[in-house]
Amino acid sequence: MQNSVTLRDVARAGKVSVSTASRALAGGLTSKSTETRLQRIAAELGYRPNTLARGLKTRSTRLVGLVVHNLANASFRVLAEVVQQRLRAEGYQVILCITADNPDQEAETIATLADQRVDGLIICPTGHNGEQLAALDRGGTPVTCVVRRHEAVEMETVLAADPEGAFAGTRYLLELGHRRIGLIVGRQETTSGRERLSGYRRALEEAGIRFNPTLVHAGRYEPETGLAGCRQLLDREDRPTALFVANHESSLGVLRGLAERELLVPDDISLLCYEDMPGFEWQRPALSVVDSGAHAMAELAADRLLLRLRSHAAPPAATAHEYRIGARLIRRQSCRPVVS
């Protein structure tokens, strides 16, 4: 139901001009007592400003878009919570959009947010709508990419140190004596999928172990990928002694796959996961992880967007487009040395 209370109604009830009422509701009156009185009257009448109409006049809607693939991923939940908290503290409202990592849904979402004249956008891109995002950025709506880099266009981006994180995780398993390490990883057209595989390969090569592509299962970021990869790797005659599950959602499928085979962690197989979540610490045994720093990534993404919103600044020089948050290895109880 459309709000029938207008700014003119607020001005009439407050016995002031429309322009005075408008300034009061925007917090721009010199007399704070009058400002408070008019804001109280507006609240009592149930007045709500027309955000789009105000945006046409002020060129600011105080709306910011946040686009992620899902909320099953603990990192995306952290991102949503932190960004909303940070932006709300600065007077912005966040519009949360879910695209299911679908390029068509993403394109529609970006177009809708542009139509709503959002002041800025934080997005985990699918990698297929770069020019659409770049056009929005060039047009004065700052865009910050997070978790994934968009390869086709230059965009300000906040990422985890995924090559280093995957390297550290793989090296940890190697130090425990594992030589057949199965990797379940994201699609190679994604930044995180490609970089986590590169870190895994580098650790093997530095240890003098030849990379075996048949020990790698890549797929979408979902539990089904983990289950399929787990089954495939466990069906091998030379079954891996350790699994490194290099995306959070797939870890859930791997846990199911290991339960199907009645394999105990870490007695029968060691398990290392990527991206921490509270459930991993409470699992028995508690799961060792490479933590990608979701909270720090969210804070930095909010910082970068707010900086540009405050200053109306263009993106920094190309050499400064990318910011990295360090990943860290958290040793718990799900990995053990190989028993000879």
What pLDDT does residue 319 have? Answer: 43
110 found inside a domain: yes
What pLDDT does residue 315 have? Answer: 58
Summarize pLDDT for 295-338 with one digit per residue, the tens.
Answer: 999 999 999 999 999 887 665 544 448 999 999 999 999 999 99
User: Mean of the per-residue pLDDT values for the chain?
Assistant: 89
Under DSSP, is residue 208 helix (H, G, I), strand (E, B) or coil? coil
**Residue 28 is part of which domain span?**
7-49
User: Among candidates 276, 248, 125, 126, which has minimal Cα distance to 184?
Assistant: 248
DSSP notation for 74-101: HHHHHHHHHHHHHHHHTT-EEEEEE-TT
335 found inside a domain: no
The CATH number that applies at residue 224 is 3.40.50.2300
Residue 122 reports pLDDT greater than 60: yes
Query: What is the phi/psi pair of residue 179, to 5°?
Result: -125, -25
Identify the weakest region by mean pLDDT among 15-19, 126-130, 145-149. Answer: 15-19
| Of 292, 316, 333, the domain-final residue | 292
Same domain for 81 and 116, yes or no, is yes
- Highest-scoring range by mean pLDDT, 53-62, 114-123, 183-192: 114-123
User: Which long-range contacts does 291-294 make (Cβ < 8 Å, 24+ apart)?
Assistant: 291/327, 291/328, 291/329, 291/330, 292/75, 292/160, 292/162, 292/165, 292/325, 292/327, 293/160, 293/325, 293/326, 293/327, 293/328, 294/74, 294/75, 294/78, 294/79
Buried/exposed 286-300: b ≥16 CB within 10 Å, e otherwise:
ebbbbbbbbebbbbb
Domain count, the chain: 3
> Under a CB-based contact definition with an 8 Å cutoff, are residues 147 and 169 in contact?
no
DSSP notation for 257-313: HHHHTTPPTTTT-EEEEES--HHHHHSSSPPEEEE--HHHHHHHHHHHHHHHHHHTP
Same domain for 176 and 262, yes or no, is yes
Residues 6+ apart with CB under 8 A from 62: 51, 91, 92, 93, 119
Q: What is the mean pLDDT of residues 264-280?
A: 93
217 found inside a domain: yes
Same domain for 32 and 177, yes or no, is no
Same domain for 121 and 174, yes or no, is no
What pLDDT does residue 248 have? Answer: 83
Same domain for 145 and 244, yes or no, is no
Percent of the chain residues topping a pLDDT of 90: 65
pTM here?
0.78
Amino acid letter for position 307: L
What pLDDT does residue 191 have? Answer: 87
User: Which long-range contacts does 21-30 make (Cβ < 8 Å, 24+ apart)?
Assistant: 25/49
Buried/exposed 101-120: b ≥16 CB within 10 Å, e otherwise:
beeebbbebbeebbeebbbb
Same domain for 25 and 169, yes or no, is no
Same domain for 97 and 242, yes or no, is no
Summarize pLDDT for 188-209 with one digit per residue, the tens.
Answer: 888 889 999 999 999 999 999 9
Residue 212 reports pLDDT greater than 50: yes
